[in-house]
Amino acid sequence: MEHERRQFLDDLLATASPSGYEVPGQRVWVDYVESFADDVRVDEYGNAVAVHEGGDADASIAFAGHGDEIGFIVREVTDDGFLTIGRVGGSDKTVTQGQHVTVHTDDGPVEGVVGQTAIHLRDGDDGEAPDIVEQSVDIGVAEGEDAEELVEVGDPVTFAQRVRELEDGRLTARGMDNRVGIWAAAEGLRRAVEAGADATVYAVSTVQEEVGLRGAEMVGFDLDPDAVIACDVTHATDSPGVPGKKSTGVELGEGPVVARGSANHPALVTAVREVADGEGIDVQLQATGSRTGTDADAFYTARGGTPALNLGLPNRYMHTPVEVIDAEDLDAMADLLGAVGAVADSHAPFDVGL
């Protein structure tokens, strides 16, 4: 991955953006796309849309990722200075205790830890993690009044993690879900621009996907493209411990994943697979018979029906502080999006052929 592109990814991953508090991350994304987009606009909730106007082709396609991540929120400051927390999105109680966290206040970050009683002191430990609402953040103060001078109820909280390089081009960090998606959407737009796309091509970074696809519902109505590719992560099931009945065959390093079924429009699926084949880009397939669990589920019912597709990046250990992706998969995802954008006019309109 080129240095500038990697720096963009690192900047996104370093910027905390839990659902409802996405502005810092959205600002990083907007600053990046402004250098090659014809126009960038942001709505009242922070959804960001960049556009390449294209040529004379009467066709449009959008690449959309969600800019928010899971996290926590301060529920209460106790008399002895601890913070009780609640979930933002699908946070996992089994990976929370014993972690460093950051409380993001209006006055700047406050560091803390989610405490865990030492194993020596736990009586009759059954290994069951307490619910997140029963866990507490220790910021080091002795009194509630001291804590209230630093944090407020409603401040967001995220794991304190940095990007780390593993072997063979694998990267690990919190919030790969879904910084990789908005990175790919932006890079797909940039590469479509470089290819001289005649179609109108949008890149979108939505808000509040993790709490119910809310941003996509807003953008899907206003944008009204001919097709939308939702760029998100999907479960790589090639690591130990994945139950056999949950396996999808998706592996790291084998390319982005084209979903089939449910929200995924068959003509758009065919177009993306044909482009991938023509460009020599390996893709994997995944069945999503009921729902994708991504913004595609909101986009495809917008304005009476918008052809949509979920394009996934294989991701191990989703919704933990140690999500793992393959950088080559991510670059391939951006290449595929750029190539689709470059020829979108030759595949439009997208219909089922009735």
Binding-site residues from annotation for Zn(2+): 66, 177, 210, 232, 319
Q: Which residue(s) pair with 230 in the sheet?
A: 64, 310
Please compute, for residue 267, the number of CA atoms within 13 A of its CA located in the half-sphere on the CB side.
Answer: 15
98 contacts: CB under 8 Å, gap ≥ 6: 113, 114, 115, 116
Residue pointed to by tokens 């589920």: 297
**What one-letter code names the amino acid at 294?**
T
**Cα 275 to Cα 258: distance, rounded to the nearest angstrom:** 12
Residue pointed to by tokens 């066709």: 59
Contact (Cβ atoms closer than 8 angstroms) between residue 266 and residue 352: yes
81 contacts: CB under 8 Å, gap ≥ 6: 139, 141, 142, 143, 144, 146, 147
Is the Cα torsion angle 147, 23, 315, 170 positive or negative in sign?
Answer: negative
Binding-site positions: 66, 177, 210, 232, 319
126 contacts: CB under 8 Å, gap ≥ 6: none
Q: Respond yes or no: is residue 209 known to be catalytic.
A: yes
Range list of β-strands (E), 139-226: 156-159, 164-165, 170-173, 200-206
Q: Which residue(s) pair with 157 in the sheet?
A: 72, 103
Residue of 209, 217, 254, 323 with catalytic role:
209
Q: Which tokens go with 224? A: 């009204």
Q: Which tokens go with 159? A: 């794991």
Q: Which residues are catalytic?
A: 209
